[in-house]
Amino acid sequence: MTAALSICGLTKTYDGGFTAVASLDLEIPDGAFFGLLGPNGAGKTTIIGSMCNIVRPTAGTLQVFGHDHRSREARHLIGLAEQEINLDRFLSIRQILIYHAGYHGLGRRFARERADELLALFRLDHKADARGYELSGGMQRRLVLARALMHRPRLLILDEPTAGVDVELRSEIWRLVKELNAAGTTILLTTHYLEEAETLCDEIALLRGGEIVARGSSVSLRARYGARDITEIYQRVIAAESLP
Amino acid sequence: MTTATPTVDAPFHAERPAFWWLLEREVMRFLIVWRYALVGPVMSTLLFVIVFGTALGRHVDGINGIGYGQFIVPGLLAQSMVNVGFFNGTTSLFEARRDRYINDVFASPLRWWEINAALVGGGIVRATIVAVATLTLALPLIGGIGVAHPVVLILGTPGVLLVAAQVGVIAGSLAQSLDHVNSMESVILLPLGFVGGVFYSVTDLPRFWAVLSHLDPVFWLVQVERIGLLGRGDVGAGWALLAVWGLAALLSLWSALIFATGRLKP
């Protein structure tokens, strides 16, 4: 079976000379729920940006379901909910969803129907004509997630999807994401909520300084490190080794 | 659910080309703020026509046998197209970069040249609306003018619009802050407009300044509109058309390089 994501030798050095990721290899199977954990600056957002055509990799090959990551096919198969709220300030939230669908080639009627469907699902329908900046933080987060789902991606990338949201919305988001995964969507998740990553993800990779330092299911990682939970492993592998 | 999940091995197929969606978004963006985006530039150009053309123009001799009010209208038209193109590109692209919603476009199946073309297309549509409205409202104020060389106008105006829109997209891609955008306007665009022969014929200048004026891109844009509408300019129609389209090609190449090489991405 073709991997959902295959990264080989990814290196990214930014203009200032900072190397965020160095010769990284990563393969995520189709249908997986994969967690990418690491501290700020570990390279998670750089990896995601490289996959999604918003960061220029310095070296390496990236494939999405066997397609070069820059191809239209690859980009159509990925849905991205970025960590930062990045909403078109000129459009209403319904238009944000419709135009996103349009950029992915959907026709107008389908785009409208899908937008209404997701606005209802994310309980944003009463705000359909509002601008993104008029929404609360939680609503903006829901909108970013709804936008990522507009074109029905096969690989959903969630970069800190629950940052700054309340407990109720967090559990709502996780329930939805679990349903999507059960229906066949591959999920790549980054989060600072380690216990949730442990519960949700089939497989976890710990990232430090742009390198994967540990990878496996939570069970296998616990056994390997003789740890009670993923938090303890994280403390040992990431936090402790980051100390001077 | 209304749409099927894409299969992983099927080639990408668009029910409606993504380019049209982005172009539509670009046009809708300025229509939403039409008071500032359309009425503002039309009003400011009309004020120039009223103050310089009708009020002061009575006290100024005509230039090359043309009334002063009529003389300045083609130049003001070119200047307003450049200003609108500049502000459209900077507002649209700079804000998309600053707020990072350009990432939603880059991550989509849109190709680099489609993104470039849609941004430029938005600027062209906006500048066209402003130019047509300005001309329609300005003509009765100055007693009307004909179209002396329709071929020059038809061949040249799309070049002027393309230059205007490309300038905006390039400025929008280079700007690092709002101050940067404003300084581009006041340090580059405004002076080039003033010395571009909008209000005078460069043949009236001392030779050194007349020659120097030929290095100003706005000068050539003004000439195309003036020759097209009034039939007279400071240069021949062929040279003016060549210069405008050469400039348009150069700016298009620059703009294409920015998008093709991914310079807008970190």
- Quote the pLDDT of residue A243: 47
Between A and B, how many residue pairs show a Cβ–Cβ distance under 8 A? 133
Specify the DSSP class assigned to residue A154: S
Q: Give the chain B residue whose CA is nearest to the CA of A13.
A: B266
User: Given B3, B18, B107, which is nearest A114 (Cβ)?
Assistant: B3
Chain B interface includes A100 (CB < 8 A): yes
pLDDT per position as a tens digit, A82-128: 988 999 989 999 999 999 999 999 999 999 999 999 999 888 999 99
The whole-number average pLDDT for the span A46-64 is 94
Q: Which residues in chain A (74-93) have CB-CB distances under 8 A to chain B?
A: 75-78, 80, 82, 84, 86-91
Q: What's chain A's average pLDDT?
A: 89
Chain B interface includes A65 (CB < 8 A): yes
The answer to whether A39 and A242 have CB atoms below 8 angstroms apart is yes
- The pLDDT-based confidence of B220 (bands split at 50, 70, 90) is very high
Q: Give the chain B residue whose CA is nearest to the CA of A109.
A: B2
Q: Which of B19, B32, B34, B108 to mutate to test the interface with A (most CBs of A within 10 A)?
A: B108
- Quote the pLDDT of residue A240: 61
- Quote the pLDDT of residue A92: 94
Q: Which residues in chain A (159-188) have CB-CB distances under 8 A to chain B?
A: 184-185
- Quote the pLDDT of residue B57: 66
CA atoms of B180 and B258, how far apart (whole Å): 18
A239: which residues sit within 8 A by CB, 6+ positions away?
A: A39
Chain B interface includes A120 (CB < 8 A): no
A5-13, strands of its sheet edge to edge: A19-28, A5-13, A59-64, A67-68
Specify the DSSP class assigned to residue B90: I
- Quote the pLDDT of residue A48: 94
User: Which of the listed ranges B10-14, B194-198, B254-258 does the model predict with the highest average pLDDT?
Assistant: B254-258
- Quote the pLDDT of residue B66: 78
Q: What's chain B's average pLDDT?
A: 88
- The pLDDT-based confidence of A244 (bands split at 50, 70, 90) is very low
**B235: pLDDT strictly greater than 50:** yes
Q: Work out the number of other CB atoms within 10 angstroms of the CB of residue B140.
A: 8
- Which of A24-58 are b and which e, b meaning 16 or more Cβ less than 10 Å from the residue's Cβ? bebebebbbbbbbbbeeebbbbbbbbbbbbbbebe
